[in-house]
Amino acid sequence: MMKQREVTDQHGTTWTCVQAYAGVDSAAAEQATELAQAADGSVTVVCTPSGGAQTKRLDLAADWLDSLTDDELKNALDAA
């Protein structure tokens, strides 16, 4: 099952964020996930908004699902 997080920013936009390639059940997807992890340990997270705003790609720590607070995730979205 794909793990995702939702946060709502100060503009009332709800963002659904998921790690790129996560949740695809295959050996190729597992390898892609490993390759997607940068040398510094960060991973690409794709955040899709409700409404008409643009999808954003964030580079976050590999443990972002558990370690990042909602406020930190919102700050990353604002900065992107």
The band of 20, judged by pLDDT with boundaries at 50, 70 and 90, is confident
Residues 43 and 60: beta-carbon distance below 8 Å? yes
CA nearest to 73, candidates 4, 20, 2, 1: 4
Whether the per-residue pLDDT at 31 is higher than 70: the answer is: no
Q: What is the reported pLDDT for 28?
A: 55
Residue 74 Rama label (left phi>0; alpha psi -120 to 50; beta)? alpha
Residue type, 12: G
Residues 6+ apart with CB under 8 A from 22: 2, 3, 33
Helix (H) or strand (E) holding 66: helix 64-67
Whether the per-residue pLDDT at 29 is higher than 60: the answer is: no
